[in-house]
Amino acid sequence: DQQVKQNSPSLSVQEGRISILNCDYTNSMFDYFLWYKKYPAEGPTFLISISSIKDKNEDGRFTVFLNKSAKHLSLHIVPSQPGDSAVYFCAASWNTGNQFYFGTGTSLTVIP
């Protein structure tokens, strides 16, 4: 059973607008969450992370929000740029961090 879920396989956004990518998890033991960005024929690239002791982490245009009670996290990209078009994976881990669980990915298209 998928412990980390991304229910939207795809998302299209106009350049300059906000992109919001969502992720839900089921395991309350998860204490560290990450977002990765993946271009075709390349490996995933780390984007941003958040510890369960926080509810928000920001890095430039990227902000991750964590709602532990809802077991939900989201990635906001503002403003969206065409170069942001990629597949985004959320991931979660707990304890030693040796097992990371990934969602199925959301393909973001930013339209110029």
Partner 1 sequence: DAGITQSPRHKVTETGTPVTLRCHQTENHRYMYWYRQDPGHGLRLIHYSYGVKDTDKGEVSDGYSVSRSKTEDFLLTLESATSSQTSVYFCAIRPQGSDTQYFGPGTRLTVL
Residues that bind partner 1 (CB under 8 A): 4, 6, 32, 34, 36, 41-46, 49, 51, 89, 91, 93, 97-105
Residue closer to partner 1 (CB basis): 14 or 45: 45
Residue closer to partner 1 (CB basis): 48 or 79: 48
Q: Which residues contact 63 (CB under 8 A, 6 or more apart)?
A: 48, 56, 57, 75, 76, 78
Residue closer to partner 1 (CB basis): 62 or 102: 102
CA distance 96 to 59: 25
- The CA distances from residue 80 to 4, 13, 70, 86, 95, in Å, are 25, 8, 26, 12, 34
Residue 46 Cβ, how far from partner 1 at the closest point, in Å?
5
Residue closer to partner 1 (CB basis): 41 or 70: 41
